[in-house]
Amino acid sequence: MKAKCVMVLGTSSGAGKSWLTTALCRWYAQQGYKVAPFKAQNMSNNARVVASHNGLGEIGSAQYFQALACYAEPDVRMNPLLLKPEADTHSQVVLLGEVSDALTQTPWRDRSEIVWPQISASLDSLRADNDIVVIEGAGSPAEINLMASDIVNLRVARHADARCLLITDIDKGGAFAHLYGTWALISVEDRNRIHGFVLNKFRGDSSLLTPAPEILEKMTGVPTVAVLPMWWQHGLPEEDGVFDDRSKATGLITRTVAVIAYPRISNLDEFQPLKNVSGLRLIWARSPSDLAGLGKEDWIILPGSKNTSSDLSWLRSQKLDQCICDHANTGNFVLGICGGLQILGEALIDSYGVDGNAAGLGLLSLVTTFEPNKTVKRTLAKLGQVRGALSPLSGLELSGYEIHHGQTTAHRDMLENGKYIHEIAVNLAWQNNEGNVTGIYMHGLFENQDVLKALFGSQTITLDSVFDGLAEFLSRHMSPITLQKLIA
């Protein structure tokens, strides 16, 4: 028998679909069901390396974490289509884990019918293997300009015969209009699939909502099944480009970590563990003023980038390049991860039109050459002798993943002229002579518990406990009877 399907739709992006889907995944899994997540199409530069039919591929980070919440092994069926924005009007298309140049060049509306067979086959395959599939929609199902080419919201709901929840962010205001407007703009057939409204991020006394939920139910026939209080400290990694500068730092702040938030930032979810370190303040830096006042104990991190040369140009336009170099040249710590590593080098060389040519910041004697083929792999590496702020990591075995086009090597001419580069993991990580500038290709450094313990003397909460907390929170604010009715 095919799995029952529960789907989370939203009145907009950022309404809370990913959060609620993850909570539902863990709650149903806790009831003893075999559960899998699904999102037909995700637009995000946060990606993870997972199993695919051809070995390894990419899916959106949200579906990766949702799979873990299900106690399931993540695979490409859970997010068959991933769009990775490279510019304001252009995205790289990843189908079933692999980059498709043909689809990347195909117009948006023409793409839907080409990819629908793979999307529906992935969903059917998951339904055959599981008891429940929890499906996440994208944006809003009521975008009337996109309905004809929809492959992620109502078309998926119909194909899966899913029972749907519609969630809205009440903190932004206009929640009841958003719910009613979304309901009113979709067909009668699709309205009948909506089994409950969910108000998310509510502050204050919920009794003040009366009589709005009752009026809305009279108008639509759909009950409000949950009012979820504002809860930004749940510990789930951030999704998409939504930045929350609030951290869990408690007590005396002993270190600030400033992550450069350039426009094409990728894999920002890997910094979630830093938000949970006692005494550490995590901030997103977009201008020199954000870096003002950083001291010798404070770090600057250049994260991954989906378009390294473009983000490097942005750094310079914002005058952040000089701030980063000043921080490093006075002996303070700078870390580059993946695209950030490439930016720290001497040059970016692109002979294939993959990313673009550019001069780097020159803080590491490295050269990056871009190639058409993308490196997508899981990584297990043992660090050699590490210097500077990361010296406690010497000899540690690390696990993570790599997703990048560029290949980086030492700049031979500079080394011959007296410059120095210290390779701490072969073809993976390098430092300058002093050890205060480090670059590494591996994502997930701070998701290693041994790293957190070695660097900060403490360990953060585990992902499993985060997922359990989401399920417990959900069961307090949504009736278990409602949750069971969705799969009846």
Dist. CA 51–CA 76, nearest whole Å:
6
Per-residue tokens: 154: 């109502």
Element (H, E) at 129: helix 108-129
195: annotated active-site residue? no
Phi first, then psi, for residue 81 (nearest 5°) are: -125, 120
Dist. CA 348–CA 366, nearest whole Å:
9
Contact 201, 171 (CB under 8 A): yes
Single-letter residue type at 170: I
Show the 3-state SS of 304-320: EECCHHHHHHHHHHCCH
Residue 107, CB half-sphere, CA atoms under 13 Å: how many? 3
Single-letter residue type at 406: G
Residue 458, CB half-sphere, CA atoms under 13 Å: how many? 11
Question: In Å, what is the CA distance from 109 to each residue of 113, 114, 116, 150, 189?
Answer: 8, 10, 12, 9, 24
Task: Find all residues with CB under 8 Å of 199, minimum gap 6, and list them.
Answer: 167, 168, 170, 175, 209, 224, 226, 227, 228
Per-residue tokens: 15: 């309404």
Annotated active-site residue in 405, 411, 443, 477: 443
Annotated active-site residue in 5, 70, 323, 338: 338
Measured torsion, CA atoms of residues 452, 454, 458, 461, in degrees rounded to the nearest 10: 30
Q: Is the dihedral of CA 273, 40, 164, 205 positive or negative?
A: positive
Per-residue tokens: 245: 């500068």
Dist. CA 308–CA 115, nearest whole Å:
28
443: annotated active-site residue? yes
Task: Find all residues with CB under 8 Å of 101, minimum gap 6, and list them.
Answer: none
**361: number of Cβ within 10 Å:** 24
Q: Which residues are catalytic?
A: 338, 443
